[in-house]
Amino acid sequence: MELTFKIKELGSLKYFPGLEVATSKQGLTFFQRKYALDLLSDIGFLHSKPVPTPMVKHPHLKQHDNELYSDPEFYRQLVGRLLYLTNTIPDLSFTIQQLSQFMVAPTINHQKALTRVLRYLKNSLGQGIFYPSTSILHIKGYSDPDWASCPDTRKSISGFCMFLGNSLISCKAKKQNIVSRSSSEAEYSALVIASCEELLMGQAKFISLAELDMPD
């Protein structure tokens, strides 16, 4: 027996929980301006002074580097809300990876680093990801490690990003499972992690930033 049901035409996609979509002949742009504004408003950072980067290069965050933060539950909730913003602001991926390591017992220094992320967010409200309507169907990836950057374990942090043509489709920052004895070993480990992602997407071309002789 054939069953039928009614559906409603909602038109072009403009908003999905937390995501805003701008459509043009050139393609789609995804951004989260409203989500970011609501987050800043909820915690009283709407008029905070913006900063150009989400994290300072030195010193690296570590466990037990200061007295414990008085409200760890608030810290955990805020990191969780910021994690959703990595969908359209990939610049936050590494910083959120760092902050999420201290969810159990965050310190005052961790809270200060989290505050800087919020000030950076104020500076990047209009940032988003553009997906062009015309693009070659070629997957390529870039990977790079931050060698022995974890002061607690001496492990390296791997980062990669995958593109379909000129469209970013995946990015991630993750601590490596082993302790690399050299920067070259860390590079190969980073490529292995990126290769695992490649297996899910098809044949890709990986270019190590070290091979391109690009500065950190």
**pTM value > 0.75:** yes
State the first-to-last Cα distance of the chain, in angstroms, to the nearest integer: 64
Distance CA 215, CA 116 (A): 24
Provide the pLDDT confidence category of residue 38 given band limits of 50, 70 and 90: very high
Provide the pLDDT confidence category of residue 53 given band limits of 50, 70 and 90: very high
Torsion of CA 113, 90, 156, 109, to 10 degrees: 0
pLDDT of residue 211: 52
Q: Is pLDDT of 203 > 90?
A: no
pLDDT of residue 215: 46
Tell me the mean pLDDT in the region 115-127: 92
Q: Is pLDDT of 194 > 80?
A: yes
pLDDT of residue 214: 47
Q: Is the distance from CB of 159 to CB of 145 less than 8 angstroms?
A: yes
**For residue range 124-136, what is the model confidence (pLDDT) as tens digits?**
888 899 999 887 7
pLDDT of residue 204: 45
112: its two tokens: 């200060």
- Of 51-60, 171-180, 202-211, the poorest mean pLDDT is in 202-211
Q: Which residues of 40-49 are buried (b: 16+ CB within 10 A; e: fewer)?
A: beeeeeeebe
Q: Is the distance from CB of 107 to CB of 68 less than 8 angstroms?
A: yes
Question: Helix crossing, 33-42 with 108-123: angle to 10°?
Answer: 140
* Residue 166 DSSP label: T
Q: Is the distance from CB of 137 to CB of 115 less than 8 angstroms?
A: no
CA 72 to chain centre: 22
- By the 10 Å C-beta count (0-12 exposed, 13-18 middle, 19+ buried), 118 is classed as buried
Task: Give whichever of 32-46, 55-69, 145-159 has the largest mean pLDDT.
Answer: 32-46
Q: Is the distance from CB of 116 to CB of 110 less than 8 angstroms?
A: no
Q: Is the distance from CB of 118 to CB of 37 less than 8 angstroms?
A: no
Q: How many residues does the chain have?
A: 216
What is the percentage of the chain residues whose pLDDT exceeds 70? 92
Q: Which residue has the higher pLDDT, 126 or 205?
A: 126
Tell me the mean pLDDT in the region 13-37: 90
What does pLDDT average to over the chain?
86
Tell me the mean pLDDT in the region 78-95: 92
Q: How far is CA 114 from CA 47, 79, 100, 178, in A?
A: 16, 8, 10, 27
The upper half-sphere exposure of residue 128, i.e. CA atoms within 13 Å in the direction of its Cβ, equals 20
Q: Domains in the chain, please, with CATH?
A: 15-128 (no CATH), 135-208 (3.10.20)
